[in-house]
Chains A and B, each alone.
Chain A
Amino acid sequence: MKQMAGKIFFTAISVLYPVIVYCGYRYWGLSPRRLSLMLLALAFYHFLNFTRSKSQVERGRTGIFVVLVLVCALVAFFADNILFVKFYPVLVNLSLLSFFGFTLWKPPSFAFRMASLHDKSLEKSPSFKAVERYCRNVTVGWCIFFIVNGSIATFTVFVGSDKIWSLYNGLISYILIGLIFMVEYLVRKMVQSKMQSYVPVCDLELDSRPNGALVSFDAGADAANVGGAVAGNRTWGDFVSDVSKVRYYLEARENTPWILHCEDSYFFTVALIAMLQSGRKALVTANRQEAFIKEIKKPEYGFLTDEPFAGDDSATMIQDVLAGTASGECVEEKCAPLKFGKFDKSKAEMVMYTSGTTGEPKAVYKLFLQFENELFELVKVFGNDWVNRKVYSTVNHHHIYGLLFTALLPIATGLPFRRHRIDFPTELANIAGETAVIASSPAFLKRLSAETDKAIGFKCPPIIYSSGGPLPEDVARKASELTGYWPMEIYGSTETGGIAYRQSKNGPVWKPFEVCKMCLAENGCLNIKSSYILEADGFTTGDLADLYDDGRFLLKGRSDSIVKIEEKRISLPEVENRLKQTGLVQDVRVVPMVGKRQYLAAAIVLNDAGREKFAGAPKLAVNNFFHDYLLKFIENTVSPKKWRYLEELPQNTEGKIRMRDIQALFGLAESPNFKILKFRREPGVLTAKILFPATSDYFDGHFPEFKLLPAVVQVDMVLRLARNFLDVPKDLSKMNRTRFANPILPDVPVMVKISYDADAGKVTFAFTSVDGETSFSNGSMIMQTSVATVAGAGENRE
């Protein structure tokens, strides 16, 4: 208490010092000698502070200050000189300058120390770095002020009158200090509005955002204006109340886990947050094919979706839950109070499904903790670029990248997100007036750069992310010409989350997120440990890499692109690149095959030069050309043994070329009687373009002068294709009615579409002309399915 009183007393003296000195000297007739006693008292007070200071540096600093004050006091006393009495304000400035300056040299800066005393959570915030930078600037500002102010104070000691000295040091400098505080406060408010208002998803509460804050919007064609508000818009108030309704619904039921599929990003986010907060495990699936849902769903599971689902009447429509019309819905009064609040991120569970590029879709178990940690990292690295932007997406939010960027990040940072995906590159022109973040993918950006010639003319360049596969540099460049932003690529996977990022204009090297610790596994593949990977020894990817000392890395292809053919290692991309080097190949995939022996097989799309060169040449000659060319670089054993020449390579619905589709093509032995020109395999459906050459045996014997493809050959063809590509059982049980409308002629390509319903064992087919105008034949047949084949029928489904 006593100490407190002393502190206040001496602080008052220190502050009023110029006024007291002036009045004492001018009006009260006090001599400099007497006034110097006050200075001596101050020196004593600072000495007490010195004895109390803890750190070595602090002692040194206050020590010097005390000595200087003491010297001034003694000189003033003995010389009876007012000049030295007037020096005190200068010394105070010097002392403060040394103090602030020292914290710049040894951070954290003074302003930051103050700020973190105020807000203990600061050090754990993703904007930590930005705040630190800001505080440093503030501290530098103060140092400059002390230098200027100290100089003026010195000036007034020597030059000005006593009155001016007193006026400046006793009033004006205080006013200046006040002004600086005010300006800094205003600047801080401004800077804060430019910093991310991030709240971890698991910590969101009713009042985390203002009720009127926009959460989600819809610029779709059907978003009508209703009473000034756009119909599709949802605010924080709507969001909280919708989550609450879904929670009441979920918590009134025993079902768990819940399968979740909602096309609308808003419904999806509402449902997911409700499941997390209610402690219901969420199975997030992009695939809502009947067969797939049937495969993963057990009787106790719930299924929440926003589109009618034919396959299962136990599916719950989220629209019904929100409207209160779902069976056993929550009645209004039971829905109060609002259920919305924190949940335990280390207990909330989710399951994601991989997109199945390299194999069947795989379920990946996740704790929400993993996502939360990754969100934090993303906000830390990218957060400040997002302020005041709107979030758009061209990717599916049921996969990890879409989930993070287009659902969870907007919710955690308060950025509004659009409810529906951008499906077509042309739609970008509609949002040119917006300040946007666009989560996109190589597939979309490739289409964008192929279909667009003129710059889109964004008012403010959007921030574009790309993930899901490597983005070719020329596509990235074109995208940047069109949009004004060079897409930021994120490298990661369902299992690992985001690992690293790059903009290919700065080179092909990836910079890992700070929390990701990289190393190479024994097989040369990248291994990652991070706060969002649960396995203690990290996760080893299938990607080969070169790792640099600073943790950055270069990707060198997938490890499964290196295969062993009869004990010889060969990189598939290498063979593909050699084939492209001929200048005759537009696209090519080389795949490993296993028959009596292991061998490689190549599916080639010739370019114009290639088609010209080989026009009319027998296939064997073309094979030999490529084979001979390859033997200059690679051993005979690893040179492809089988070849197919297509019009285009088969892509799945996600635009990916799958190894197993190419392998299936080689599963059907090449025959001089028919040629597959192109094909596409989707779950249970094959479409193929086929040519029957005039030399084909199929045309023999019927009408030598008018060749046409016999019906029995067509049916046989369908069965062969269906067995090879759709895993249809071998034996035919029953032929249904089949129509043969028009003759199939030699040398005219035809399209055939074959569907297989595994449950019914039914194969349906239709031969049409390539333009689809003419129907040649169609019909269906029933295959002999044993129980075992029905169970295995899901294998081909994606």
Chain B
Amino acid sequence: MSDLNTRIKEVIIESLELEDITPADIVDSAPIFGKNAAGEGLGLDSIDALELGIAIKENFGVTFSTVKEETKKHFASVNALADYISANSKG
């Protein structure tokens, strides 16, 4: 597990004040919003999405496209988010 992935998970948990969950509980490839067929995923809702978007911006200095579909793709999983951040991070 890369450090970036762990950092992202920590940001998710902190910014959304998630309870009963540790970075280890989050599957890198599982969806952040809703769940996949295997029942994996964080099950976050659309309100969480706004909050998380802001938190990612603040923590990693990346911005997201205003095109909804694009953004959705970046938030598909922790892995997807990590890829996007590594590609776009200014630091």
Give A contacts to B, CB under 8 Å: 566, 595-597, 618-620, 623-624, 627-628, 631, 635-637, 642-643, 669-670
Distance (whole angstroms) from the CB of A601 to the closest CB of chain B? 10
Expressed in whole angstroms, the minimum distance between the Cβ of B55 and any Cβ of chain A is: 10
- Interfacial chain B residues near A642, Cβ < 8 Å: 19
CB <8 Å contact, B43 and A636:
yes
- Whether B58 is near chain A, meaning CB under 8 Å from some CB there, is no
Complex contacts, B3 vs chain A, CB 8 Å:
none
Give the CA-CA distance A643 to B43 in the complex, in Å: 15
**What are the 9 tightest A-B residue pairs by CB atom distance, in nearest-first order?**
A636-B45, A670-B19, A637-B45, A619-B20, A620-B20, A566-B47, A597-B47, A642-B19, A620-B21
B17–A595 touching, CB < 8 Å: yes
B residues near A (Cβ < 8 Å) are: 17, 19-21, 25, 34-35, 39, 43-48, 51
* Contact B51 A637, beta carbon cutoff 8 Å: no
Give complex CA distance A635, B19 in Å: 20
| Interchain Cβ contacts under 8 Å between A and B, 16 examples | A566-B47, A597-B51, A618-B20, A620-B21, A624-B43, A627-B43, A628-B35, A628-B43, A636-B43, A637-B45, A637-B46, A637-B47, A643-B19, A643-B20, A669-B17, A669-B19
Q: CB within 8 A of B20: which of A566, A623, A635?
A: A623
Q: Say whether A670 contacts B47, CB under 8 Å.
A: no
| Other A-B pairs, 6, CB within 8 Å; known A566-B47, A620-B20 | A623-B20, A624-B43, A631-B43, A636-B34, A643-B20, A669-B19
- Which residues of B have CB within 8 Å of A636? 34, 43-46
Asked whether A620 and B25 contact (CB < 8 A) given A595-B17, A643-B20, A670-B20, the answer is: yes
CA gap between A595 and B46 in the complex, in Å: 16
Interface centre among A596, A619, A631 (most CB of B within 10 A): A596
Q: For B35, list chain A residues within 8 Å (CB).
A: 628
- Report how far A637 CA is from B51 CA in the complex, Å: 13
When C-beta atoms are compared, the residue in chain B nearest to A631 turns out to be B43
Q: Select from chain B the residue with minimum beta-carbon distance to A637.
A: B45
Cα A643 to Cα B20 with chains together (Å): 9
Distance (Å) between the CB of B57 and the closest chain A CB? 15
| Contact A596 B17, CB 8 Å, known A620-B25, A628-B39 | yes
Instruction: Report if A596-B51 is in contact (Cβ < 8 Å); known contacts: A620-B25, A623-B20, A669-B19.
Output: yes
Inter-chain contacts of B20 with A (CB < 8 A)? 618-620, 623, 643, 670
Q: Which residues of A contact B25 (CB under 8 A)?
A: 620
Closest to A598 in B: B47
Report Cα–Cα, A270/B66, bound state, in Å.
Answer: 75
| Nearest B residue to A635, CB-CB | B45
Cα distance, A399 to B25, chains bound together (Å):
52
What residues of chain A lie closer than 8 Å to B51, measured between beta carbons? Answer: 596-597
Q: Which residue of B lies closest to A624 (CB)?
A: B43
User: In chain B, what residue has the closest Cβ to A671?
Assistant: B19
Q: How distant is A625 from chain B, measured CB to nearest CB, in Å?
A: 10
Residues of B within 8 A of A627 (CB): 43
Inter-chain CA distance A467–B75, complex, in Å, is 54
Q: Shortest beta-carbon distance, A737 to chain B, in Å?
A: 37
State A535–B29 Cα separation when bound (angstroms).
63
* Residue ID in chain A nearest B42 by CB atoms: A624
A628 to B21: give the CA distance in the assembly, Å.
16
* B38 shortest CB reach to chain A, Å: 12
Q: How far is the CA of A628 from the CA of B48 in the complex (A)?
A: 17
For residue A631, which residues in chain B have a CB less than 8 angstroms away from its CB?
A: 43
Please give the distance in Å from A590's CB to the nearest CB on chain B: 16
Which chain A residues lie closer than 8 Å to B21 at the CB level? 620
Complex alpha-carbon distance, A65 and B39, angstroms: 96
- Complex CA gap A408/B34 in Å reads 60
What residue in chain A is nearest B46 (Cβ atoms)? A637
Q: In the bound complex, how far is the Cα of B39 from the Cα of A566, in angstroms?
A: 26
Give the residues in chain B near A623, CB-CB below 8 Å. 20
User: Smallest CB–CB gap between A668 and chain B, Å?
Assistant: 11
The chain A residue with its CB closest to the CB of B35 is: A628
Closest beta carbon of chain A to B44's beta carbon, Å: 8
Scoring B17, B19, B39, B51 by chain A CB atoms within 10 A of each residue's CB, the highest score goes to B19
How many angstroms between the C-alpha atoms of A141 and B21 in the bound complex?
Answer: 84
A231–B44 CA distance with the chains assembled, in angstroms: 70
A154-B71 Cα distance, complex, nearest whole Å: 107
In the complex, A427→B17 CA distance in Å?
51
Q: Which of A597, A618, A635, A637 has the most CB of B within 10 A?
A: A597
Chain A residue with the shortest CB-CB distance to B39: A628
User: Which residues of chain B have C-beta atoms less than 8 A from A637's C-beta?
Assistant: 45-47
**C-alpha spacing A597/B51, complex, angstroms:** 9
Bound complex: CA A301 to CA B43 (Å): 59
- Bound together, the chains give a CA A642 to CA B25 distance in angstroms of 16
Set of chain B residues within 8 Å of A597, measured between Cβ atoms: 47-48, 51
Chain B residues closer than 8 Å to A566, beta-carbon distance: 47
In the assembled complex, which residues on chain A have CB atoms less than 8 Å from the CB atom of B17? 595-596, 669
A596 contact set on B, CB distance < 8 A:
17, 51
Which residue of chain B lies nearest to A638 when distances are taken between CB atoms in the complex? B45
CA distance A595 to B19 in the complex (A): 14
- The docked-state distance in angstroms from the alpha carbon of A747 to that of B35 is 34
CA distance A627 to B41 in the complex (A): 12
A636 → chain B, closest Cβ, in Å?
A: 4
Query: CB-CB < 8 A to A643: which residues of B?
Result: 19-20
A623 to B46, CA, bound (A): 19
Q: How far, in angstroms, from A623 to B43 measured CA to CA in the complex?
A: 11
- Closest A residue to B45 by beta carbon equals A636
Residues of A within 8 A of B43 (CB): 624, 627-628, 631, 636
